[in-house]
Amino acid sequence: MKKPILFLLTLLALSFLHVQGEEDSSAVVSDDSSVIQLNDSLSLQMLNYDTTGSVDLGSGLATFAIPVGFKYLNPAQSSYVLADLWGNPPSETNGMIFPADASPIYPATWAIEILYEEDGHVKDDDAKDIDYDDLLEEMQEQVKEINPQRKEAGYSTVELLGWASPPYYDEHTKKLHWAKRLQFENDSTETLNYNIRVLGRKGVLVLNAIGGMDQLYEIKTNIDAILASVNFTEGNRYEDFDESNDKIAAYGVGGLIAGGILAKTGLFAKIGLLFAKFAKVFIIGGIAAGGFIYRLVTGKKKEDEQA
């Protein structure tokens, strides 16, 4: 029954947005903390997903073999969803992964954004020695230090409550994943931030899934399939590292979990950018007042971004 119900709710939502659009070329959907403006609701129907096969990431850098139960949205369309539809600052992306029955306007959906960060080859020598409880405390202190910068930049403050799923690193596949529990200012609910990193020759594939804590089980259930589907191509793999020519990152696995910018690396200025990036993906909360309510993790209006 879930799919028919979601389909009907989607039709109702689109009808609502279309009626509003007769008086104005755009519709506004809001909750207590923020307002988001949707430009053309009909463009949602034009999103073209890849549902089978393998897609190229980063012009031959890596591949994503679409697993059963998922679909892929290419970079151009993902940029539209992230910036124009969801109101995030424009940024480069390598696409997005959605559950097969989800769309940007489904209630309680979750999605994964794919990025690539070329900060150098991440040595994994420290992986076996990391005390994740100590690392968590350090990250929590960093978040407290970052919050004034977020506030000044117009973003809501955030508290790192703890691990939703502790870090796990597979030294054979060079893949890492963990999840954090976040609480944003003026938001009574917790936000789930699930992180996946795939280590490569010169950088790291970054896959970030953000949803509600009630979606943790669903995301964790699908993590293995997603991890198996994302791989660097020959020449870009971790084992292709050329010590004589390739740059080594200023951090290891521990720094990668903390954001690649532990204070000891001397890149403290980048910390503010890291936590601002949590604003890149946000999730639809529920239905009220005839429309879908968007729970924005930044708490910042789109028009404020453009000011």
Domains in the chain, please, with CATH? 2-300 (3.40.1000.10)
pLDDT at 70 over 50: yes
Which position has the token pair 């350090």?
Answer: 138
DSSP letter string over 239-268? Answer: GG--TTTSPBPS--HHHHHTTS--GGGT-T
Please state the separation of Cα 90 from the chain's center in Å: 14
Residue type, 214: D
Question: How far is it between the farthest Cα atoms of the chain?
Answer: 63
Phi-psi region of 179 (alpha: psi -120 to 50; beta: other; left: phi over 0): beta
Q: Tell me, what's the pLDDT at 9?
A: 37
- Residue 293 near residue 285 (C-beta atoms within 8 A): yes
pLDDT digits (tens, 9 = 90+) for 266-294: 333 333 333 333 333 333 322 222 222 22
Per-residue pLDDT tens over the stretch 242-251: 999 999 998 8
Which tokens is 63 given? Answer: 């591949």
**pLDDT tens-digit map of 140-188:** 998 888 888 878 878 778 899 999 999 999 999 999 999 999 888 888 8
Q: Which pLDDT score, from 0 to 100, does residue 126 have?
A: 93
- Write out pLDDT tens, residues 186-227: 888 888 889 999 999 999 999 988 777 888 999 999 999 999
**Residues 75-87: tens digit of each pLDDT:** 999 988 888 776 6
The structure's pTM equals: 0.72
Inform me whether the pLDDT recorded for 300 exceeds 60: no
Q: Which residue has the higher pLDDT, 92 or 62?
A: 62
Segment among 96-105, 210-219, 229-238, 276-285 with least mean pLDDT: 276-285
Q: What is the mean pLDDT of the chain?
A: 73
Mean pLDDT, residues 115-120: 94
